[in-house]
């Protein structure tokens, strides 16, 4: 594991911020690293404000989208809200549908079946819209490359409004309106909205159009926060504001559908809770059964009904866990049997692997073999795959170089999906390996941890922790600060803990003389190194621990080395 420091901030700027804001020097360094240069920027960072949200009409296509929806509302035309089956798509559908249904009862929603229809706008979905006499489909978190599907809908007399955040192709679909800040000529100031975020900008524009205020739609921000967290988009700019107010909404007035899950938290909700507790459960519905169960849960108004749906989704998630553990073990076994441990990439296939969990399995395999990974399963007459990459390696570009063997593909820099013909599996596997070998650098083959600052243990005080907590919400673009402390020694009370004795409960001291406790999950194997009385270095974040009603600070150890 490599330890890589973030660039050291400009000393003069850090000292200036320390004076202007009145924070410890280490905090001003963290702010400088995050691009904060003066008091006003710091104020905006620490106190996200609704006024920091941009005018939605700055987005290319927004005026056309609003006019087309207004036309539907005035004529009573039936609208279908269509979205992808992941968290971003299902939250976006719940958001736009619940907003429209307040004033327009002639509205339905549709989520494609992951297995029968696949990703994005489907012919089956459009045909269903025709049967339902829908005149307008609002597509969320998909559609930017659906040229033929949009044309097909038009041939049936159905218009599309596309709200997407994925990279467009060379040609933009011929829809009534296309909202995607990444499309050419769109001058919208913030490019990193998720699909649900685009949906939010649409309802913000509709609210403004009828004379409403941003405060009227704060209750919808909880859905946007869930999508931002789950889709791993950067939590800066507008995403920071939306996440801040969305988490506040979840904390203060959670929608009925998620209360069952958040009641387990005995503290304030944070982004990690959305990523590791809420998102897997919303996703689990689409992976194991059908994503419409997740939308129905998010739209629930009745407590009894919501609890029933929550329990069903909890069961889907438990089933998903069992399946992904089984497939992971089989995939690791296949790598060993094929003697592929030392390759530049992982490409594995088994026809019966569950299509809904292969993306999770790809991420699991990277924990063992740190390299770009493709997991294939059989889907009808084709092989379909999920792709995950490692830091610095653009897997989307690699797939472009392999497209001679691909029927279709799409995705992002670090995650993608593709479909191939069965006879192209081995040629694709060879081409993918060669393409990865060509671009991957030696240091990209070793997992790395990034840390912000080197500090001594005496800097860790309740005030220091309180200020760091005010830097939340944390996520890409604003990660929770990671610290390095060198030349630590056992304080005397370090021991292994846990039912299986796999965790490390530390007591450490350093040259400052301060004593700190810490926890290292799955790090019991370090006990002999620590007890040897040789100095060691630790990488950690700082968290609050509560035990028997007593709160104290502790280090959450990320790595340790002698």
Q: Give Cβ neighbours of residue 165 (< 8 Å, ≥ 6 apart).
A: 141, 180, 181, 182, 192, 193, 194, 195, 197, 198, 233
pLDDT of residue 287: 85
pLDDT of residue 32: 95
Q: Tell me the mean pLDDT in the region 513-518.
A: 96
pLDDT band at residue 467 using 50, 70 and 90 as cut-offs? very high
pLDDT of residue 411: 78
CA 245 to mean position of chain CA atoms:
17
Q: Give the separation between CA 269 and CA 233, rounded to whole angstroms.
A: 19
What pLDDT digit, counting tens, does each position of 341-384 carry?
Answer: 999 999 999 999 999 899 999 999 999 999 999 999 999 999 99
Instruction: Using DSSP bridges, classify how beta strands 448-451 and 2-5 pair: parallel, antiparallel or unpaired.
Output: parallel
Q: What is the DSSP string of 238-255?
A: HHHHHHHHHHHHHHHS--
| Residue 146: pLDDT over 80 | yes
pLDDT of residue 240: 97
pLDDT band at residue 58 using 50, 70 and 90 as cut-offs? very high
DSSP 168: P
What pLDDT digit, counting tens, does each position of 67-118 carry?
Answer: 999 999 999 999 999 999 999 999 999 999 999 999 999 999 999 998 888 7
Question: What b-and-e string marks burial along 217-227, b requiring 16 or more CB atoms within 10 Å of the CB?
Answer: beebbbbbbbb
Read off the tokens for 168: 């467009």
Q: Tell me the mean pLDDT in the region 41-70.
A: 97
Beta strand residue intervals within 56-141, DSSP E: 78-83, 107-110, 134-140
What pLDDT digit, counting tens, does each position of 204-258 carry?
Answer: 999 999 999 999 999 999 999 999 999 889 999 999 999 999 999 999 999 999 9
pLDDT band at residue 533 using 50, 70 and 90 as cut-offs? confident
Structural domains for the chain: 2-47+449-561 (2.40.50.460), 56-307 (3.90.1640.30), 338-445 (3.10.310.30)
pLDDT of residue 81: 98
Q: Give the separation between CA 78 and CA 12, rounded to whole angstroms.
A: 60
pLDDT of residue 262: 87
User: What element of type H or E holds 293?
Assistant: helix 292-299
Q: Among positive and negative, which fits the CA dihedral 430, 432, 435, 439?
A: negative
| Residue 451: pLDDT over 90 | yes
Give 367: exposed, middle or buried? Use CB within 10 Å, 0-12, 13-18, 19+. Answer: exposed
pLDDT of residue 169: 87
| Residue 196: pLDDT over 90 | yes
pLDDT band at residue 418 using 50, 70 and 90 as cut-offs? very high
Over the chain, what is the mean pLDDT?
95
User: What element of type H or E holds 508?
Assistant: strand 503-509
The pTM assigned to this predicted structure is 0.90
pLDDT of residue 448: 92
| Residue 1: pLDDT over 90 | no
| Residue 472: pLDDT over 90 | yes
Question: What b-and-e string marks burial along 12-32, b requiring 16 or more CB atoms within 10 Å of the CB?
Answer: ebbebbbeebebeebbbbbbb
Read off the tokens for 162: 């596309």
pLDDT of residue 189: 97
What pLDDT digit, counting tens, does each position of 247-291 carry?
Answer: 999 999 999 999 989 887 777 899 999 999 999 999 888 888 899
Q: Are 452 and 483 in contact (CB under 8 A)?
A: yes
Which range has the worst mean pLDDT, 272-276, 429-433, 454-458?
272-276
| Residue 549: pLDDT over 80 | no
% of the chain residues with pLDDT over 70: 100
Tell me the longest C-alpha to C-alpha distance in the chain: 79
Per-residue CA distances from 143 to 82, 177, 179, 338, 379 (Å)? 10, 11, 10, 39, 22
Helix (H, G, I), strand (E, B) or coil at 549: coil
| Residue 410: pLDDT over 90 | no
Per-residue CA distances from 24 to 9, 464, 508, 511, 538 (Å)? 15, 8, 23, 20, 22
| Residue 466: pLDDT over 80 | yes
Phi-psi region of 475 (alpha: psi -120 to 50; beta: other; left: phi over 0): left
Q: Tell me the mean pLDDT in the region 385-405.
A: 95
Q: Give the separation between CA 254 and CA 401, rounded to whole angstroms.
A: 46
What pLDDT digit, counting tens, does each position of 17-36 carry?
Answer: 999 999 999 999 999 999 99
What sections of 116-233 are H helices per DSSP?
123-131, 147-155, 195-209, 221-230
Q: Give the separation between CA 534 and CA 513, rounded to whole angstroms.
A: 16
pLDDT of residue 265: 78
């Amino acid at each position: 594991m490599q330890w890589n420091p973030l660039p050291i901030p400009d000393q003069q700027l850090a000292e200036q911020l320390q004076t202007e804001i009145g924070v410890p020097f280490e905090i001003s360094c963290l702010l400088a690293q995050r691009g904060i240069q003066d008091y006003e920027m710091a104020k905006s960072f620490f106190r996200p404000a609704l006024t920091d949200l941009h005018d939605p009409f700055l987005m290319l296509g927004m005026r056309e989208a609003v006019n087309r929806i207004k036309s539907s509302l005035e004529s009573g035309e039936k609208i279908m809200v269509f979205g992808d089956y992941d968290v971003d798509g299902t939250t976006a559908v719940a958001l736009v549908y619940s907003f429209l249904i307040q004033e327009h009862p002639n509205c339905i929603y549709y989520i494609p079946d992951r297995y029968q229809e696949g990703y994005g706008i489907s012919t089956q979905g459009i045909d269903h819209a025709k049967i339902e006499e829908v005149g307008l489909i609002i597509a969320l978190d998909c559609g930017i490359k659906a040229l033929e599907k949009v044309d097909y809908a038009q041939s049936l007399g159905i218009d599309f409004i596309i709200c997407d955040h994925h990279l467009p192709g060379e040609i933009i679909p011929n829809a009534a309106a296309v909202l995607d800040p990444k499309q050419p000529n769109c001058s919208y100031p913030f490019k990193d909205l998720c699909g649900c975020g685009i949906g939010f900008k649409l309802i913000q524009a509709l609210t403004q159009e009828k004379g409403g205020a941003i405060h009227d739609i704060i209750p919808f921000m909880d859905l946007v926060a869930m999508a931002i967290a789950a889709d791993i988009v950067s939590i800066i700019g507008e995403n920071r504001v939306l996440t801040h107010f969305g988490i506040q909404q979840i904390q203060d007035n959670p929608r009925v559908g998620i209360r069952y899950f958040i009641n387990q938290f005995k503290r304030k909700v944070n982004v990690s809770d959305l990523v590791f507790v809420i998102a897997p459960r919303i996703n689990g519905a689409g992976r194991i059964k059908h994503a419409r169960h997740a939308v129905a849960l998010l739209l629930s108004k009745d407590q009894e009904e919501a609890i029933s749906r929550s329990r069903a989704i909890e069961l889907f998630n438990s089933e998903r866990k069992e399946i992904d553990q089984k497939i992971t073990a089989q995939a690791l076994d296949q790598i060993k049997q094929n003697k592929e441990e030392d390759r530049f990439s992982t490409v594995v296939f088994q026809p019966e692997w569950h299509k809904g969990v292969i993306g999770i399995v790809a991420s699991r395999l990277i924990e063992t073999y740190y390299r770009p990974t493709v997991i294939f399963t059989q889907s009808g007459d084709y092989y379909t795959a999920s792709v995950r990459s490692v830091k610095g390696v653009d897997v989307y570009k690699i797939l472009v170089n392999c497209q001679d063997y691909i029927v279709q593909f799409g995705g992002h820099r670090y995650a993608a999906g593709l479909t191939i013909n069965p006879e192209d599996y081995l040629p694709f596997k060879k081409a993918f390996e060669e393409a990865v070998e060509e671009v991957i650098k030696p240091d990209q083959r070793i997992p790395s941890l990034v840390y912000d600052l080197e500090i001594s243990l005496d800097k860790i005080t309740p005030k220091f922790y309180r200020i760091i907590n005010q830097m939340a919400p944390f996520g890409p673009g604003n990660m929770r600060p990671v610290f390095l402390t060198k030349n630590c020694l056992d304080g005397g009370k370090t021991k292994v803990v846990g039912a299986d004795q796999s965790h490390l409960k530390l007591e450490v001291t350093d040259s400052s003389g301060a004593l700190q406790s810490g926890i290292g999950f799955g790090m019991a194997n370090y006990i002999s190194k620590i007890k040897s009385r040789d100095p060691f270095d630790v990488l950690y974040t700082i968290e609050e621990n509560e035990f028997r009603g007593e709160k104290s600070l502790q280090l959450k150890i990320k790595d340790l080395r002698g």
